Structure 1
């Protein structure tokens, strides 16, 4: 950004529009700085568009994964002026479906500023994201130059854009479908054009298949019957893939070998791809043979054609469903079907020649050429998907095995990548060597993970894949309705961010062998856990180690200033002081409702509290200790409540991120942990109150 700023400032050419370079801090305070700018800064009213730069990794190509909303001119600007385009609407669909546990300033500017923009992020090597390895050494040479070329070209164009001058509302007409082809060229078109294109492809499939295949069968009814039965075989093969993946997941779970692919992504090929391909060949060989007719036994290419048409029809239905749902990612199966359909029609005369027994290699070459384009696109997206999501599995929570996600992703990839290639199974004389090879690859991969030769984590600075842990030294006090302390404890909380918990760590830190998992304190808001973010529904399991009273400099205080009762409402005003980060957990008693509060004009949002109830989670952060922060709650109380009945439980957590070196328990843990573990240490002081 600084170099782009320098280049624009020293350029001999003037810009038509002003550019603001905004360097946001406090991003991990739930995007606090960007929210403050777009809601309070006097310049906010003059902003018409923005480019957001973010990162979920280090280096690699920067990905455009969100645009708009409803401003296609921004995407056209990127498509026309980016020197090295890299974008896909799949990222937008996935991100807006909240499948990635993260957020960017794009949402803040979009939702609170009503400003359109382009969201760009580094997504490669997410293993180093927010770890000690996240440094300049992790950024490959040329990465900054590449992104600088793209972003400067886009920023320069927008700064001279006639659309900004004439008014962006004139070019606001719906979403866009966008993707790049191997990073060479950018394709972008309006979603409404995508609906037309998808519909044309689907219609062409039905018409072309109907007209082309009548000549191979005595009657149209027989052809329809064969195609429908072939569709059934394909569905059975997909079901078999799912069952095979479930079997692999159970096998990995029983042998405690989950996440072995985390530091060794190539293992996914052996653990998931190989058995999936094997079961496809088994199902098609077994059930496909039952579709043979006398003619097709003489020439199996007729049967291959039936399965090819069945694949076209089935994926056409997928395109139709995705299009009706308004999902831009429908372009993926659309491209696959379109190339297959065009190639099939072009080579149809060759297929006829093949049935007559000549020019076999020529037609096989044409067959591969027909599928190579969609297959290349699928593999290109596959490597992108695995590259983004596998590192995220190291911080996706410790409740649900990530094998389910990896298995599902593999199923989608296998289904898309093999949709037409499986048709060749029906013209192969023998598959026993191929099947034996696939089983051998699976067995070798399974042996590697079970024997721990393939370890889930890596502390190698050249290829790190660290295990992430939140390490918190906690002091916790419960107060009764009179304000007196009635319960107090201290402990060291070990909160792994992945599914494996403390597995593999016990040999390094013996205290973890007998460490219990923390139990939810239902008598305290948010289970009595001083969490930094409202992620208890994802990160539930934390291991407890003994810990003395932590040495905390800045005390967290909480006071009820006033309680005003009026009709069926109670207005409670509180004052909080403490460290730079203070969280407040508000849990209402049964029947009590939150009417308003002083923190926002909008209706307060609540989240799950870990006990089946709800809690209001307030994350209050700044650069310096909080000095007498005040807020009020307006509660609607049922008539059945007496004047002395409690109406709300409030937990207050002061989080200290710079004082952890005062904790001997934390220092000892850090000393013992292996090099493949990255811990984030801090102190937490939690107090619960009843009002």
Structure 2
């Protein structure tokens, strides 16, 4: 009786509270209180039914993204008619012949003779019966240029070979031609089947197809013989070949793995029409302008021939690469055995479709107007369709949409709630930062334990190691700041809108702002749906942002885990992978915060702790390397010699040769340094290996062709007899007195002759040399040390002064 009498009173108070919430802010003497819920009687942000629907939707999307990431088509048989299109089976002969040449680094006979002959033979086979439509020649290129990459390189090259083929199109009077390019040289020690013999094979098959079914314009194929050593052959072609002036677009084919989908990761500069051609003609699109932002800003370091054609030839175009199984990249395991021919089939289909689309646009000449001057924002949706629009439109549309969404939040809740909404957004942003830092700190912890790089060698383990700390930190930060569920949904939408607004105002970052547009607009629209449909509409609204987020998460994992096996002993790979997971987890949670409110925070944090402890224990137990994902080392047998010149007053120089020990230099390419090898002798370091001091002598006496000793630290040196070299080394120096501003200085001329792949370190600091310039656009100074990698045999003439 008493309970029944009290119940109506309790119900009445609850109804009054809900009514106040529906009306927006409540005036209390001295302050304004903003309630959760929306006008129209919507349910609280943390509704459990919505969260369960969200969990199911997220699981389905994750399954779809994982299946689509490595989706490849069936291989078209070699005996199929040419009208059936590209056939990966017909590329096998090319690959076997190029692999038989062995390592094809610049200066080696495998590259300069064997590979060139193999490419010429395969082109001749592709052109059988249609030779009249083909013009074929070899180019011997020499030159030099400066490239601002990893601190800056001056690249001088001589007698590099490009095999250049031109297939005539349907329109003989067209003023434009299309360039398709890749390289047949390799990194030292690799036969380069995927990087980039497979792309060379794709080009020979495309040449066959274009001879059978011509494009609207001529197509120029550049099979270039020098990319790995800082892109010289492409420079030689684009600056000195007579056909280069006719090129209106380029397609550059690259690889950093042996399978998976080809990623469109750079387009332009500007020239949105190129992205339009891709969107209109490619059957299975895969690309994102976010990757272009990462490359343009240098966050992801790397260069391809695409940049040379773009910067030195002014040729706009597109850059493609496959990334899956990057553990074989630049190793002896990059062979046919590890190549996925289904990936070759997909790659060839894409380039065939794309080239035909570009040719149609080039048929009437060079594009002009806004299509040339404007960049593009682009992304694929699950590999099924492609979205692209101009960066100028994106800037206006994204800024306007962000402002509209923020304004609608204030209208919906009332201007008095503005402070509360932005406070909720700030809480979520701080929670995001805590998630990022917690994951990075966990990576640093793991890096200094025997579990280092276990997550990189076993990518399925990485989420279990680095997501739990990020999730726990996010929840902990929210609790520390006060777990106020009111306006958490509005806070997420406001945060996404402000991120969209900030990125859209940048001329570069605008191409990466589209995810935040979707994170703000779609949930913002769903918030206005009527109550009966709200649970479903909210989950549907988040589906597309989640899909794109998961796509980028899987792509990042595919790229970063193998990448940390070759970033050197100075960079802890676990921190890189962990920071990426912290970034992606923090963004996901802060922009989807409404779904984590029903989750019991204490129990979730305990689950995170248990999951991390189990994953960390497993990481301590398993070995980070395997047969398919081996440890990378540089193992170099080196003959050293050192000469000191004494300059006489008349300018002549006398050389004093000093004997130096020869031996084997070994250095690790990952964070684990050489400790792993020391523990697993006799399969590890050479006998007698001692720590190598990178700080002694000229440039640390490091026999590395690139000036990157800061990256490859902790090496070992084992004394051995000198290796046999085909040509003796001869170095001559002469000095010429010069006068600048009344100061008597000298200009030194150095003449070097020796075997291929010789390295020369020159230090003029004791010679009192002129500081105004040197050969090949070097910036000289008295205290500089110059490192030269001389890959081609012969005599090199260098002056410093």
TM-score of the aligned structures, taking structure 2 as reference length: 0.69
Matched, 1:458 2:630: no
Q: Is the 8 A contact 2:745 2:769 kept in 1?
A: no
- How many residue pairs get matched? 583
Work out which of the residue numbers 701, 709, 713 in structure 2 matches 1:528. Answer: 701
- Once the two structures are TM-superposed, the CA of residue 53 in structure 1 deviates from its matched residue by 0.5
Matched, 1:9 2:211: yes
Matched, 1:497 2:661: no
1:100 and 1:605 mapped to 2: Cα distance? 26
- Per mean C-alpha deviation after superposition, the further-off stretch among 466-475 and 280-289 is 280-289
Residues 169 and 533 (structure 1), Cα distance of their counterparts in 2 relative to 1, 3 Å cut: farther
Residues 240 and 69 (structure 1), Cα distance of their counterparts in 2 relative to 1, 3 Å cut: closer
Q: How do 1:74-89 and structure 2 match up within 5 A?
A: 74-89=274-289
Query: Partner of 1:25 in structure 2?
Result: 225
Q: How do 1:594-605 and structure 2 match up within 5 A?
A: 594-599=771-776, 603-605=777-779
1:375 and 1:577 mapped to 2: Cα distance? 59
Residues 415 and 182 (structure 1), Cα distance of their counterparts in 2 relative to 1, 3 Å cut: same
Residues 127 and 628 (structure 1), Cα distance of their counterparts in 2 relative to 1, 3 Å cut: same
Q: How do 1:475-490 and structure 2 match up within 5 A?
A: 475-482=639-646, 483-490=655-662
- Once the two structures are TM-superposed, the CA of residue 110 in structure 1 deviates from its matched residue by 0.9
Residues 263 and 4 (structure 1), Cα distance of their counterparts in 2 relative to 1, 3 Å cut: same
- Once the two structures are TM-superposed, the CA of residue 106 in structure 1 deviates from its matched residue by 0.3
Query: Partner of 1:685 in structure 2?
Result: none
Matched, 1:37 2:237: yes
1:416 and 1:606 mapped to 2: Cα distance? 46
Query: Partner of 1:342 in structure 2?
Result: 525
1:121 and 1:250 mapped to 2: Cα distance? 30
Residues 445 and 502 (structure 1), Cα distance of their counterparts in 2 relative to 1, 3 Å cut: same
Matched, 1:269 2:463: yes
- Once the two structures are TM-superposed, the CA of residue 420 in structure 1 deviates from its matched residue by 3.7
Residues 2 and 233 (structure 1), Cα distance of their counterparts in 2 relative to 1, 3 Å cut: same
Query: Partner of 2:795 in structure 1?
Result: 628
Q: Is the 8 A contact 1:89 1:177 kept in 2?
A: yes
2:780 and 2:301 mapped to 1: Cα distance? 18
CA root-mean-square deviation: 2.6
Matched, 1:308 2:482: no
2:519 and 2:674 mapped to 1: Cα distance? 44
Q: Is the 8 A contact 2:694 2:713 kept in 1?
A: no
- Once the two structures are TM-superposed, the CA of residue 181 in structure 1 deviates from its matched residue by 0.9
Query: Partner of 1:470 in structure 2?
Result: 634
Q: How do 1:265-664 and structure 2 match up within 5 A?
A: 265-285=459-479, 287-289=481-483, 291=484, 303-304=485-486, 306-326=487-507, 327=509, 328-345=511-528, 347=529, 349-350=530-531, 363-428=534-599, 430-450=600-620, 452-453=621-622, 455-459=623-627, 464-482=628-646, 483-509=655-681, 512=685, 515-524=689-698, 526-561=699-734, 563-567=736-740, 568-589=744-765, 592-599=769-776, 603-605=777-779, 614-622=784-792, 626-633=793-800, 635=801
Q: Is the 8 A contact 2:735 2:746 kept in 1?
A: no
Q: Is the 8 A contact 2:271 2:316 kept in 1?
A: yes
1:456 and 1:377 mapped to 2: Cα distance? 30
- Once the two structures are TM-superposed, the CA of residue 598 in structure 1 deviates from its matched residue by 3.6
SS at match of 1:265: coil
- Once the two structures are TM-superposed, the CA of residue 437 in structure 1 deviates from its matched residue by 2.8
1:129 and 1:186 mapped to 2: Cα distance? 29
Q: Is the 8 A contact 1:378 1:416 kept in 2?
A: no
Matched, 1:110 2:310: yes
Q: Is the 8 A contact 2:324 2:559 kept in 1?
A: yes
SS at match of 2:753: strand
For residues 301-333 of structure 1, the C-alpha deviation after alignment (integer angstroms, 9 at most, x for no partner) is xx35x0111122222222222222221111122
- Once the two structures are TM-superposed, the CA of residue 285 in structure 1 deviates from its matched residue by 4.3
- Once the two structures are TM-superposed, the CA of residue 26 in structure 1 deviates from its matched residue by 2.0
Residues 193 and 557 (structure 1), Cα distance of their counterparts in 2 relative to 1, 3 Å cut: same
1:487 and 1:87 mapped to 2: Cα distance? 55
2:400 and 2:771 mapped to 1: Cα distance? 52
For residues 443-475 of structure 1, the C-alpha deviation after alignment (integer angstroms, 9 at most, x for no partner) is 11011112x22x21111xxxx112111111223
Query: Partner of 1:680 in structure 2?
Result: none
- Per mean C-alpha deviation after superposition, the further-off stretch among 84-93 and 94-103 is 94-103
- Once the two structures are TM-superposed, the CA of residue 10 in structure 1 deviates from its matched residue by 1.4
Residues 421 and 146 (structure 1), Cα distance of their counterparts in 2 relative to 1, 3 Å cut: same
Residues 317 and 51 (structure 1), Cα distance of their counterparts in 2 relative to 1, 3 Å cut: same
2:412 and 2:632 mapped to 1: Cα distance? 57
Q: Is the 8 A contact 1:69 1:175 kept in 2?
A: yes
- Once the two structures are TM-superposed, the CA of residue 516 in structure 1 deviates from its matched residue by 3.8
Q: Is the 8 A contact 1:67 1:117 kept in 2?
A: yes
Q: Is the 8 A contact 1:273 1:414 kept in 2?
A: yes
In structure 2, the gaps of 5 or more residues are 1-202, 647-654
1:70 and 1:99 mapped to 2: Cα distance? 20
Query: Partner of 1:124 in structure 2?
Result: 324
Q: Is the 8 A contact 2:727 2:755 kept in 1?
A: yes
1:585 and 1:344 mapped to 2: Cα distance? 66
For residues 200-219 of structure 1, the C-alpha deviation after alignment (integer angstroms, 9 at most, x for no partner) is 221122111001113xxxxx
Query: Partner of 1:656 in structure 2?
Result: none
SS at match of 2:662: strand
Q: Is the 8 A contact 2:437 2:582 kept in 1?
A: no
Q: Is the 8 A contact 1:48 1:164 kept in 2?
A: no
Matched, 1:50 2:244: no
1:184 and 1:27 mapped to 2: Cα distance? 33
1:268 and 1:606 mapped to 2: Cα distance? 46
- Per mean C-alpha deviation after superposition, the further-off stretch among 26-35 and 239-248 is 239-248
For residues 186-206 of structure 1, the C-alpha deviation after alignment (integer angstroms, 9 at most, x for no partner) is 111111111012112211221
Q: Is the 8 A contact 1:594 1:604 kept in 2?
A: no
In structure 1, the gaps of 5 or more residues are 215-219, 292-302, 351-358, 636-691
SS at match of 1:470: strand
1:312 and 1:514 mapped to 2: Cα distance? 62
For residues 510-542 of structure 1, the C-alpha deviation after alignment (integer angstroms, 9 at most, x for no partner) is 585985432234542x22222111222322331
Query: Partner of 2:333 in structure 1?
Result: 133
1:208 and 1:89 mapped to 2: Cα distance? 29
Post-superposition, which runs of at least 4 consecutive aligned residues in structure 1 deviate over 6 A? Answer: none
